[in-house]
Amino acid sequence: MAFRSSAMFPESQSPPDTGASGVSTIVASRSRKLCTVIQSIEASTVELHADDGQHVAEVRGDASRAQTAYAVSYRLLVDGGWRWVEELVFSVSDGQNAGNDWVGTVSDIRVSDKFRKSSEAHEVRLNAALTVGRMVVWDLDLASGIVTRSANAKDLLGTCKEPIEAFLGRVHPEDLDRVRWENAPNPVPPKGDVRFRYFHPDGSLLWLETSATTIQTDDQPGHVIGITSDVTRRHLAEERLIHAASHDDLTGLMSRKAWTAELVHRADACTSGHQRFHLLLLDVDRFKLINDTFGHDAGDHVLREIGSRMRAALSRDGTAARLGGDEFAAVLLMENTQDALQLAENVIGALRKPIRYGDVEISSGASAGLACFPDHGLTAHDLSKNADLALYTAKQNGRQQVRQFENGMRQSLDALTALDAEFRKALEAHQIVPYYQPKIDLTTGALIGFEALARWQHPTRGLLTPAVFGALFEDGGNARRIGQVIRRAVFQDIVAWQSRDLAFGRIAINFAADEFRSHDLARAVLAELDQSNLSTSCLGIEVTEGVMVGRDAEVVERVLNDFHASGIQISLDDFGTGYASLIHLKQFPVDEIKIDKSFVAEIDKPPSRAIIRAILVMAQSLGLTTVAEGIETAAQRDALRQMGCTQGQGYFIGKPMSRDRVPWFIEKQRNPILQNTPSAIGSSARPR
C-alpha cells in the first residue's frame, strides 16, 4: 500500500497525528485490511508491538532530522493478531520547501516474504539444475562490458562477475576468433552453438559450448543473454570415437579405411599441385611363426612395438598406418626418391632390432616395397598395386629389405601366375620328381642315406629347383599335393632299389607344416609304406623348427610320436635359424639335428664356429646325431669332422641326383677307384 503525507511522523511509538499538521493520503491499496491499518495509523489508533515502538521511533526521527528516506519493519495489531509490515518512506520536494511531503509504502511482509521464499526456492532449484548440467547462465551488459553469471559459475568457470576482456583472456588463443564477437562494438551472436577451449583459473583446460541472443533496448542492443555449458567430457568422448573410427586400436596408427581415404586425398592434392610423394608397404617377416611360437599376446606386443618404431623412424617425414594383420604402410612426404629409399631403410633397420617380450627377445624384421607418385601410378589404387609388387619382390629375394618398384616386376608376377597354372598341370603330368642328395659319415665316408628334394622337370625350361618355384609352396594346397607326389615316387624308387639289393640307407622326406594339419598323417603314410611292402627303417622324416613350434604343435607332437614309435627316424632341419629350444628337443621325438648351411658356409669365422660347437655339445649331451648341411669344400668337411660332427651332406659330397644316378653313386662310395669321378649330374643351382 502506498501513501502520501504532508508531514513526517513524530518521534513516538505510535504513528503521528494526522490533523491540521498533515493528513495522510492513501494512494493505492491491495489489501482492505491494510487500508484499515493505514486509516488507523492516520487516526493514531493503531497499536504497535511494544518491542518495536522504540526502534520505529528512532528510525523515523533520524530520517526526519536528516530529511532522508528510511525503511523500517514492525508489527501491528490487526484483527486481534500481530502482523509484520514494512514501511518505506522518502521525502518529496515541491521545488520551494524541501521535505514538505513524504511518500511511502506500507507492505504486508507476510505476502512479500512468501514470494521471496518462493523465489529463493526457485533459484535454488535452478542453480541445482545448472550445476548438475554444468551450465552457466550469463548476462553481458553492453554499456559497461560487465558479464554477470549465475552463482554456480564460480565453481565452473572460476568467476561470476567480471569484464568481458578478463573472460576472453582465458580463452585458448586458437579459439579466440570464435568468441571475439562478444567484445565487438555491436555484437551479434552467431547462430547455433560455439565450442571453444577455456583455461580455468585452477589451470585445467575445459571445452565450453555457448549460445546467446541479443536483447534490444530502445532499438539498440542493451544486453546479450546466453548460456555456457561445460562439454569437456562429451568432447573428449567424441574425440575418442572419432579416433577409434580412424585408427587401429592395437597400434594407434591410422586404420585401413582412414588410410585409404588419406591416400586418395593426397594423390588428388599432389596431382593438382604437381608434387611427388612415396608410398611404402611393409610386411612383418615370419609373423605367423612368432604368433604360433610365443602366443597371440606376444604377437600383439610385437605389432605394437613395430607401430611405435615406425612412428619414431618416420618422425615428421611420413604418416604410418596398420592395414591389418602384419601389414603396415606409410606415406613418405619427401619428393626425392633417394631420400625416400634412405628413410625406408631406416624404418627397416629399426624393425630389424630384436623385440623384448618378458624374458625373451623376439627377432622379427620386415620386408618393404616402395613406389613413387606419380611415376609409379597416377591413382592411389595403381600406386598401391605397384608398391605391393615391390613388396612381393622383396619377400621373394630374401626378406628384411626394401625394393623399389620397377616395371619388370609386373612381368615377374605375371610369370609367377603363369608358372602356378603350369605347376598344377605338372603335378598331374608327373613332372614333379624327387632328386636325391647323399648323406655320409664324415669319419669313414660311408653312405648313411639320401635326402629327397623336389625338382620340376619342365618340358621347355629344363630341371627347375625350388629357387624357381618355391613361392608356390606358400599355397598350403600345393604343399600337400607336392608331399603326396614326392612320397609316392620315393616309395616306388625304394622298391626298385631294394629289388636290386642296393644299400641306399635311409631316405629322408621333408614334410611341410601344412601337411601336419591332417591329424591322420601318420596313419596315411604308414598305410602307404605297408601297401608298398616297405619297412619303416628305410624312411626318415625331416621337419623345420617352424613346424615344431607352430600353433598346431600338439598335433605335430602326436603325429611325430606315431612316426617315431613305428621306427621312422625324425630329423630337425635348419637347426639354429628358428625358435626351437631345448624344451622342444625334449618335447618332440627328435633323433637327429641338421646344422644349417649358413653356419657351415662361415665356419672360418669365430661366431659361426662358436654356434656350431655349441650345437654339437648340446646334441652330444642329448644323445642326438648331428648332420652338417651345405658342405662345399674339403676344408669345411675337415673342420666339422675335427669339431666332432658325425655326418654331413653338400655339393662337396654329392649334388642332388636323379633316381637313375643313385645306383652309380652307391657303387662309387663302395669303389675307391671311382672316388675322383664327378659325383652327379644335376642342376648347378644350390639345393634348397
Those residues whose C-beta lies under 8 Å from the C-beta of residue 642, and which sit 6 or more positions away, are none
Statement to judge: residues 311 and 394 lie in one domain: yes
**Peptide bond preceding 438: is omega within 30 degrees of 0, i.e. cis?**
no
DSSP-based three-state secondary structure for 310:
helix
Are 183 and 260 contained in the same domain?
Answer: no
Ramachandran class of 348: left when φ > 0, alpha when ψ lies in -120 to 50, beta otherwise: alpha
DSSP code, position 326: T
What are the beta bridge partners of residue 247? 254
Residue 197 in domain: yes
309 and 226 part of one domain: no
Give domain status of residue 64, yes or no: yes
The domain of 196 spans 133-236
Neighbours of 137 (CB within 10 A): 17
Selection from 481, 504, 400, 461 nearest residue 685 by Cα: 461
Same domain flag for 308 and 354: yes
- 340, 332 Cβ separation under 8 angstroms: yes
Position 43 in a domain: yes
Lookup: cell for 476: 598350403
pLDDT on residue 679? 46
For residue 581, the SS3 value is coil
Tell me the HSE value of 146 on the side-chain side, using a 13 A CA sphere. 5
Helix locations, 135-199, DSSP H = 153-156, 164-168, 176-179
Asked if 320 and 333 count as a contact pair (C-beta separation under 8 A), the reply is: no
Burial class (CB in 10 A: 0-12, 13-18, 19+), 561: middle
Q: Is residue 636 assigned to a domain? A: no
Domain shared by 73 and 138, yes or no: no
Sign of torsion, CA 381 386 389 391?
A: negative
Instruction: Say what the pLDDT of residue 327 is.
Output: 93
Q: What is the CATH number of the domain that holds 188?
A: 3.30.450.20
Residue 23, domain CATH: 3.30.450
Q: Which of 569, 570, 568 is nearest to 580 (CA)?
A: 570
Residues 251 and 384 in one domain: yes
Indicate whether 278 and 352 sit together in one domain: yes
Least Cα distance to 669 among 505, 424, 429, 500 occurs for: 505
- Domain co-membership, 224 together with 252: no
pLDDT of residue 4: 54
Q: In terms of Cα–Cα distance, which of 146, 354, 136, 96 is closest to 228?
A: 136
Of 53, 82, 114, the residue that ends a domain is 114
Grid coordinates representing 133?
548440467
Q: Which of 212, 236, 260 is the last residue of a domain?
A: 236
Residue 299 lies in a domain: yes
User: Could you give the CA distance from residue 311 to residue 252 in angstroms, rounded to a whole number?
Assistant: 10
CA 162, chain centre distance (Å): 45
DSSP letter string, 247-302:
B-TTT-SBPHHHHHHHHHHHHHHHHHHT--EEEEEEEETTHHHHHHHH-HHHHHHH
Residues 141, 232, single domain; the answer is yes
Contact of 637 with 648, CB cutoff 8 Å: yes
Please check whether residue 23 lies inside any domain of the structure. yes
Q: Domain boundary at 406, 430, 455, which?
A: 406
256/397 same-domain check: yes
The pTM is what?
0.53
* pLDDT value, residue 562: 94
Of 449, 412, 406, nearest to 542 by C-alpha is: 449
Which amino acid is present at 163? P
- In a domain, residue 653? The reply is no
CATH number at residue 333: 3.30.70.270
* CA 396 to each of CA 375, 403, 620, 684: distance values in angstroms, whole numbers, following the listed order: 24, 11, 36, 20
> Do 252 and 396 fall into the same domain?
yes
Strands (E), 474-605: 506-510, 539-544, 569-575, 592-595
Number of domains in the chain: 3
162 lies in a domain? yes
Q: Give the whole-angstrom CA distance, residue 629 versus residue 627.
A: 6
Residues 229, 286 share a domain: no
Q: How high is the pLDDT of residue 533?
A: 95
- Which segments in the chain show pLDDT lower than 50? 6-38, 42-44, 673-674, 677-688
Report the pLDDT value the prediction gives residue 575, as an integer from 0 to 100: 80
Q: Is the dihedral of CA 110, 115, 118, 120 positive or negative?
A: negative
